[in-house]
Amino acid sequence: MDYKAIVKQAFLDSNIHFTEAELESIDYADFGLDQIETEGLNLIVYVNNDTYCAKEMVLLPGQTCPEHRHPRRGADGEIAGKRETFRCRKGKVYLYVEGEPNVAQIESKLPHGHEAYYTVMHEIELGPGEQYTIEPDTLHWFQAGEAGAVISEFSTPSDDPSDIFTNPNIKRVTE
């Protein structure tokens, strides 16, 4: 089965009902790294307007969304960065945020060759029904557990081009 078919099946297996239009609109984000199965993200955006955003994300087993932050934006920084809440729906997700490392050894495996671009190691483990809110301009990254994960995201407006990644080779919006 090809990558897109596997991702679509993971959305279908989540027991969340999607329209055909939503399934056809899956964003397969490879961040310009061309290694989506390792560092990538698959998402459906329900709504993203001037006041709020809601998304559903699928991460395949061990798949990682690279370290980034959502800074203030606008000409004079008058718009706050994105504040987002992740709620695990299925599987397990390991979220890493700024703060003192809180485990002797993190559960995640850093993507080979990109280890230097993962700098925050305060680990938060989310299972089904658990959630965590990330404040604006907070460095974070996340990785699915061995069975993959389905994550709902509720946030203030999302502006992907303004995201700042630790890895300078990443392009959030690819051509």
Domain boundaries, the chain: 3-165
Distance CA 1, CA 125 (A): 30
Confidence of residue 172 (pLDDT cuts 50, 70, 90): confident
Confidence of residue 41 (pLDDT cuts 50, 70, 90): very high
Judged against a pLDDT cut of 70, whether residue 174 lies above it is answered with no
Q: How many CA atoms lie within 13 A of 124 on its CB side?
A: 19
Q: Mean pLDDT throughout 20-44?
A: 96
- Give the architecture-level CATH label for domain 3-165: Sandwich (2.60)
Q: pLDDT, tens digit, for every residue of 60-80?
A: 999 999 999 999 998 899 999
Q: pLDDT, tens digit, for every residue of 144-161?
A: 999 999 999 999 999 999
Contacts of 153 (CB under 8 A, 6+ apart): 43, 53, 54, 55, 56, 57, 84, 85, 86, 87
Average pLDDT over all residues of the chain: 96
- Residue 61 CA to its chain's centroid (Å): 14
Quick check: pTM over 0.85? yes
Q: Using an 8 Å Cβ cutoff, are 18 and 11 in contact?
A: yes
What's the confidence (pLDDT) of residue 171?
A: 86
Distance CA 122, CA 101 (A): 4
What's the confidence (pLDDT) of residue 1?
A: 75
